[in-house]
A and B are shown apart, each in its own frame.
Chain A
Amino acid sequence: MERERKIKVLIAKPGLDGHDRGAKVLSFGLRDQGMEVIYTGRRQSVQQIVNSALQEDVDVVGLSILSGAHLTFFPKVVNLLRENDAGDMLVIGGGIIPDEHIPILKEKGVTEIFGPGTLIKDIGDFIRKNVRKIA
């Protein structure tokens, strides 16, 4: 089925980590691919991220952390989305995530993790393939 509106993506930086080059580059890149992208800026709490996601009714939440706090933050975002009946939003993550943490995060509901060197066209393809269908 054809989507009636652009895919809407929220790119968010949970926690105190300020390394947002990747988040910004991804925001620009996905926008260039025709998606509507909202970047939250730095230092977002889980609640703030989920509020923005719900308010904007996004299809995708992309979380970026380079500080090692991903095991705490990513699952919290997934859980709070689910509690708010938004479990169908696609949650993906990026940053410096050790390989051994990827299965843990996937098990907790993060659909995919994209590490350094990932091409944005691959992330775009992944989103288009896995995003929720809209009636």
Chain B
Amino acid sequence: MKAKVHVALKSGVLDPQGKAINHALHTLGFPAVRDVRQGKLIELEIDEKDPAKARAAIEEMCRKLLANPVMETYRIELVE
């Protein structure tokens, strides 16, 4: 089973990188960009056929390692 985990800062947490990218896009001539927030995309390949079990396992991985629940949120996408 393949899965994608999208990790992002919680809304409201300052994203210095997003802020700087936003600014650079403006100076490059993209004034329409209103806000930029960046995150991480983590692709996993796991030996698990049952989608429910896979999701549960990934949930745990997110809580324990992949995301920092103090400041980040995550979204799990099972690909196949």
A and B from one assembly? no
